[in-house]
Chain A
Amino acid sequence: MQIVIINSNATELYVIHKILYQIKDIIYYYMSASENVRYIKIQKIGEGAYGIIYKAQDVQTEEIVALKKFKLSDNEGVPSCALREISILNQLNHPNIIKLISQIIINKKLHLVMNYYDMDLTEYLKFNHEEFHLKNIIYKILLAVEFIHNRKIIHRDLQPNNILITNNEPVLIDFGLSRVLSPNMTPGVTQLWYRAPELLSNCNTYDYAIDMWSLGCIIAEIALNKPLFMGSSEIHQLLLIKNIINGNEWFLHNSQFAKLNNLFIDLINVCISLEFLEIIIS
């Protein structure tokens, strides 16, 4: 090709340019095709309303990654949860928050490429662990949530399934429901057991406190090895909360909490703040 260009005059150059221009699409096609082969799906891990999660292998680096597939519908384009998740994950850079490696389009479907971890907090708690590790996990989760809140973002879906563990270090995932704080938001977020009372009572002007409530429930779950409130419906959940937490020193009446340290109970008590509940009851 080089020799041709050196000997050519203007018209020949023009011809070459034209040919290259026509080939451009084909080259792009092959480049995108090689991109497609880059990740090989191994197995399906989970499924949700948004799409499907696969375990996959990177051909180039032989790294195991997680692929999150979104459906791209014809009428809506990129779904809003994907839009929020990508833009939020792009600006978060923290050791305890999952990293978005890249986003690619395979077969007209949007895929997010993320690191793969094989254990979440519910599975982790099935085994016995040293107290020191558990404390470390609680501390790191608190740090990560503080980091998110400092960026004006609410996670809105904190639960043990969304906290992965590697080498006794927690990693926060699933920002599909999270969004930037704004005056009006939908109340129907977070899994029922970890839903804050203001959400249960259909309030749409909530703030970071709902994340703290879920955190309090998670911390209590780590300590007690079972969920704190296990409601079957929204009303049942509210009743459970009311029954367990009555008065300022509710933990004294509950035998479950007897073995715990005072400072630890303080921590849970701060997270599960009663202010809002009192408004409902009165």
Chain B
Amino acid sequence: PQQVLQYQQEIYEFLHQREQESSGFQFSIDQRKINEKMRNTTIRFVIKQAKMYNLKSETLFQTVDLIDQSIHHINPEAERLELIAITCLFIATKYEEIYPPPLGALLRGTELRVREVIEMEKEILYKLNFNVISDNTLIWLQLIGELLGCNKRYLDLIKQRS
């Protein structure tokens, strides 16, 4: 964006504080019903979807963050993982995008129903207590980029690659 430098210090302090609060939340995959491979395939699927609808990279990172959090809170069966992924994508698009794609379009190619997604959305939002805040990896990536002295073009490149 434009001139936001005067607030930068405070913003990063706040985000760091949030990160500290949620640091107890580490992935202990042994106790979960979902292993690393499943998560990888899901995230690959989400990336494909995000490319298909030309979503912003903020949305993508937000989705991954939401998926991780909801796996942590809900501990779902493996069959429900696709539903959770789509729902997280749906929430993230509504939060970040200016014109979110309609739900019907997101559901294309899957066998899920609209009603299921909306029920799941309620469940996830209540489990997370509506804490959908963009404190995802992208912000830290951008900070690292800035500290290393990349200029704007590099940052855009990073965004495109990610």
- One of B3-11, B39-47, B68-76 contacting the partner: B3-11
Kindly provide the distance from the CB of A226 to the nearest chain B CB, expressed in whole angstroms.
31
Can you list, as one digit per residue, whether each of A71-91 has a CB less than 8 Å from chain B (1) or not (0)?
A: 000111111100110110011
Let me know if A90 and B103 touch, CB within 8 A: no
Residue in A75, A150, A184, A206 whose beta carbon sits within 8 Å of that of B7 in the complex: A150
Q: Of residues 185 to 226 in A, which have CB atoms within 8 Å of B's CB atoms?
A: 185-186, 205-209
CA distance A149 to B7 in the complex (A): 7
User: Which residues of B sit under 8 angstroms from A90, Cβ to Cβ?
Assistant: 129-131
Assess whether B121 is in contact with A78, with CB atoms less than 8 Å apart: yes
**Does A180 belong to the interface (CB within 8 Å)?**
yes
Interface string of A163-183 (1 = CB under 8 A from B): 000000000000000001111
Known: A87-B95, A208-B4. A75 touches B114 (CB 8 A): yes
**Which residues in A have their C-beta under 8 angstroms from that of B117?**
77
Contact B114 A182 (CB under 8 A): no
Which B9-45 residues have a C-beta within 8 angstroms of A? 10-11, 14
Chain A residue total in the interface (Cβ 8 A): 31
Which residues in B have their C-beta under 8 angstroms from that of A209? 2-3
Verify A77–B103 contact, CB threshold 8 A: yes
B interface, by DSSP: helix, strand, loop or mixed?
Answer: helix
Total contacting residues, chain B, CB less than 8 A:
33
Does B104 contact A75, Cβ atoms closer than 8 Å?
yes
Q: A78-B125, A83-B132, A182-B58 are in contact. Are A207 and B100 (CB under 8 A)?
A: no
Among residues of A, the one whose C-beta sits closest to the C-beta of B120 is A77
Q: Which residues of A contact B109 (CB under 8 A)?
A: none
In the complex, the answer to whether B7 meets A208 with C-beta atoms within 8 Å is: yes
Given A77-B121, A152-B7, A182-B58, A83 and B95 touching (CB < 8 A)?
Answer: yes
Bound CA span A263–B98, Å: 40
Q: Which A residues lie within 8 Å of B11 (CB)?
A: 150-152
**CB nearest neighbor in A for B96:** A182
Query: Complex: how many Å from CA A152 to CA B142?
Result: 15
Residue B51 is within 8 A (CB to CB) of chain A in the complex: no
Q: Can you list 23 A-B pairs with a CB-CB distance of less than 8 A? A: A76-B94, A76-B102, A77-B117, A77-B118, A77-B121, A78-B121, A83-B94, A83-B125, A83-B132, A87-B95, A87-B131, A90-B130, A105-B122, A152-B7, A152-B11, A181-B1, A182-B96, A205-B1, A205-B2, A207-B1, A207-B2, A208-B7, A209-B2
User: A74-B114, A84-B95, A209-B3 are known contacts; what are 8 more A-B pairs with Cβ within 8 Å?
Assistant: A74-B118, A79-B94, A90-B129, A181-B1, A182-B58, A184-B98, A186-B98, A205-B1
